Amino acid sequence: MSEGDSFLSVVRGRRSVRRFRTTPVDKERILRLIEAAEWAPSAGNRQDWFFSVVTSPNVKRRMAEAVARRWKAIVDANRTSGSIEEVERYVAHFDDFAEAPAVILVSARRPDAFQQHLLGNDASATFGAICSAAMAAQNLMLAAHVMGLGSCCMTGALAAREELGEIAELGPKREIVCLIAVGWRDEAPPAPNRKPASEIARFWT
C-alpha cells in the first residue's frame, strides 16, 4: 500500500464517536493530540489556536448546564415555529460532550479592532484564525483515531459560546470554534455514506 493509500485509509476509517468508556485519557496522550493539531497549516503561520482541555466532571457539568439552559431559552422563544419539534430532537444531544472523559475546546483569536475596521464583516474570514483552528481540529481527530481513541467534533453547544468561554476563562480576544469530545471508544459506528467526488467538485479548465 502506498503512503497516499495508507493516509486515505486513516481518513476513511475515522468516525464520529459519541459513546465512550469511563476510562480516563492520560495527559501525555492528550498532549500528543495537541502536538498533531499544532502541525496544521495556519494563516500567516500565526498559530492563533488554543486548546482548553477539560477533564473535571464539575466543569463539564457546568458547561453542559450552560448549553442546556441556552437551548431551552431558544426553544421556548420559538414554540410557535412549525419546525421546533425537529430542532428539539437535536438539542437533546448538544450537551452529550459532558459524558466524554475529556472535552477539548478549540478556540481562535478574534480579529483585532484595526482588522475589523479595515474589513468589516469580512474580517473573520480574511484573518483566517477560525479556518486555521478548524484544520487543527481535524489533525487532532485524525491523530486520536490513529491512537485508538474516539472523538467527535461538536458545534451545537456553541449557542452558549460566550458562557462556555467564561467558564474556560478564555477572555474576550478568543472565540470557541468547536468542542471535541475525546475518549476510549465504546461504540463502532458504521461508515456513513459519502457523495462521489464527481458530484461535489467542478473543474474550470
Q: List the single range of 54-63, 120-129, 162-171 with lowest mean pLDDT.
A: 120-129
pLDDT at 84: 83
162 close to 63: Cβ distance less than 8 angstroms: no
pLDDT at 5: 81
Answer yes or no: is pLDDT of 32 > 90: yes
pLDDT at 56: 98
Residue 101 has which C-alpha cell? 472523559
Answer yes or no: is pLDDT of 1 > 80: no
The helix (H) or strand (E) run that includes residue 143 is helix 129-146
pLDDT at 81: 77
pTM above 0.85, yes or no: yes
Residue 193 — φ and ψ, nearest 5°?
-70, 145
204 close to 179: Cβ distance less than 8 angstroms: no
Answer yes or no: is pLDDT of 96 > 90: yes
Q: Report the half-sphere exposure of 80 (CA within 13 A, side-chain side).
A: 1
Greatest Cα-to-Cα distance within the chain, rounded to the nearest angstrom: 56
In tens, the pLDDT along 158-174 reads: 999 999 999 999 999 99
Domains of the chain in start order, with CATH, are 17-78+94-187 (3.40.109.10)
153 close to 130: Cβ distance less than 8 angstroms: no
Tell me the average pLDDT of the chain. 94
Closest CA to 152 of 126, 117, 132, 178: 178
- Cα dihedral 114, 175, 45, 140 in deg (nearest 10): -170
Q: 182: pLDDT confidence band, cut at 50, 70 and 90? A: very high
- Distances in Å between the Cα of 157 and the Cα atoms of 62, 145, 150, 204 are 12, 23, 19, 38
Answer yes or no: is pLDDT of 90 > 90: no
pLDDT at 89: 83
Q: 122: pLDDT confidence band, cut at 50, 70 and 90? A: very high
Separation of alpha carbons 86 and 145, rounded Å: 31
pLDDT at 46: 96
Per cent of the chain over pLDDT 70 is: 100
Mean pLDDT, to the nearest integer, of 173-182? 97
